[in-house]
Amino acid sequence: MLEIQKLLKKEKTKIVLVVLDGIGDLPVKDGKTPLELAQTPNLDSLAKDSATGLQIPVDYGITPGSGPGHLGIFGYDPLRYEIGRGILEALGLGLDVRESDVAIRGNFATVKYEDSQPIVVDRRAGRISTDENRRLIEKLSQKIKRIDDVEIILCSGREHRFSLILRFPHPLPSSAEQVNDTDPQAVNRAPLIPRGQSPEAEPIAEVARKFIDLAGEILRDEEKANYVLLRGFSVKPALEPFPRRFGLNSCCIAVYPMYKGLARLVGMDVITFEGEDIEDEIQALRQWWDAYDFFFIHIKKTDSYGEDGNFEGKVKVIEAFDRALPEVLKLNPDVLAITGDHSTPCKMKSHSWHPVPVLIYSPFVLGNTSQRFTERECLKGELGIFPSHKLMQVLLAHAGRLQKFGA
């Protein structure tokens, strides 16, 4: 096992990692992919002078969620480090997750009572509106602020979904998350009672039981959402923080909460800035240029359009990024990498397993292997097809931040 940390060298070089979310695609028109259809003079020129290739986020044939997709490009093998569902949900809602937290996915549900025993009649409370959800979360938050010495943090999601964080006064071990889901997975059944499957998990289960009882009382007279179901109990994964792991003073420039949350999870600073466009992100990059060694810039819309099956939209985002690219280059990063966290083919309207194009611009590349930054051109590149969690090593190398291995 390579211990990359032992090879780290102190340097002042700067690395920019641009993640075009879900960038990889399949042919959508005239046999061409969105990257092939887009007019990208700046990217084309960059590709010729760069090392190119494709990365596999998790494993051959495996479609990654956003969590594993980002862990990989952040240099953590997603098969080794898992981010629990409760944590991801919380990050997606913009919640801060700490080492002393258990994050849980909640559902509002409808129950009837038989001999004081709740029986689930609708596991999603008729998919109540998000506004209704907000009203209920406000009501619960007002009445349940603490249970014993545990702080209770609630946040509305969409429709019947919410996020619950139990914030303990001390850090929790990974075994603390071993609490069963309470959703019985079918109607006309009693909700399951949360139980700790390990000694460390039992105190968590106990707080969860108390929360469920309190919430049940507070919601008792609600027409639809008169109960809560909990699942995906999870603690923050034990990750060596990114800045220490790679010796990089690191920050995240992103618009969506999920990606800020993922960056914060691995220990990056999250930059606050005005606006939501690519230009605003580049402006933030410029503004914070002197303060950091490593910049993770997340561009979301390529994925959103892929999920919608809107290839024209995806092409437009790619072209907008292409127009913004010279502004990034003007900053003279020592290493500029462009890739995605996974592919989102428009014809599939979902994430997929297809390898993701990657480009590394630095003085230390072979280059002149790919004429453009596209799936097919990157196949010709000097990086070949490689696991995403090796990318960080290659970026550090190009930044002159790794010593020789052995003598």
Amino acid at 118: P
Tokens of 388: 């995403």
Tokens of 19: 């993640």
Q: Which of 230, 222, 215, 35 is nearest to 142 (CA)?
A: 215
Return the number of the residue (63 or 198) whose C-beta is nearest its own copies.
63
Site string for its own copies, 49-88 (x = CB under 8 A): -----x---xxxxxxxxxxx---------xx--xx-x--x
183 vs 203: CA distance, rounded Å: 20
Tokens of 302: 């390529």
CB 65 → its own copies: shortest distance, Å? 4
Of 2, 188, 221, 332, the one binding its own copies (CB under 8 A) is 2
356 vs 209: CA distance, rounded Å: 44
327 vs 322: CA distance, rounded Å: 10
Site string for its own copies, 11-50 (x = CB under 8 A): ---------------xx---x-x-----------------
State yes or no: residue 335 binds its own copies (CB under 8 A).
no
Of 246, 336, 367, 373, the one binding its own copies (CB under 8 A) is 367
State yes or no: residue 366 binds its own copies (CB under 8 A).
yes
CB 215 → its own copies: shortest distance, Å? 24
Dump strand ranges (E) for 286-330.
Answer: 294-299
Q: Which of 163, 224, 170, 174 is nearest to 197 (CA)?
A: 174
State yes or no: residue 185 binds its own copies (CB under 8 A).
no
Return the number of the residue (170 or 404) whose C-beta is nearest its own copies.
404
Residue ranges of alpha helices (H) inside 335-399 are: 375-378, 391-398
DSSP state of 222: -
Contacts with its own copies in 204-233 (CB under 8 A)? Answer: none
Q: What kind and span of H or E run contains 140? A: helix 130-143
285 vs 301: CA distance, rounded Å: 18
Return the number of the residue (62 or 329) whose C-beta is nearest its own copies.
62
Return the number of the residue (288 or 353) whose C-beta is nearest its own copies.
353
State yes or no: residue 192 binds its own copies (CB under 8 A).
no
CB 64 → its own copies: shortest distance, Å? 6
Contacts with its own copies in 342-361 (CB under 8 A)? Answer: 345, 347-348, 350-355
Q: Which of 4, 76, 35 is nearest to 302 (CA)?
A: 35
State yes or no: residue 339 binds its own copies (CB under 8 A).
no
Integer CA distances (angstroms), 257 to 47, 94, 293, 395, 398, in order: 30, 5, 23, 26, 30
State yes or no: residue 403 binds its own copies (CB under 8 A).
yes
Q: Site size for its own copies, by CB under 8 A?
A: 66
Return the number of the residue (166 or 356) whose C-beta is nearest its own copies.
356
Burial of 334-350, coded b for 16+ CB within 10 Å and e otherwise, reads: bbbbbbbbbbbbbebee
**Helical axes 130-143 vs 202-219, angle rounded to 10°:** 110
CB 104 → its own copies: shortest distance, Å? 14
Return the number of the residue (173 or 363) whose C-beta is nearest its own copies.
363
**Helical axes 311-330 vs 278-287, angle rounded to 10°:** 20
Return the number of the residue (48 or 323) whose C-beta is nearest its own copies.
48
Return the number of the residue (224 or 354) whose C-beta is nearest its own copies.
354
Which residues contact its own copies (rule: CB under 8 A)?
Answer: 1-2, 7, 26-27, 31, 33, 54, 58-68, 78-79, 82-83, 85, 88-89, 345, 347-348, 350-355, 363-369, 375-376, 379-386, 390-391, 393-398, 402-407
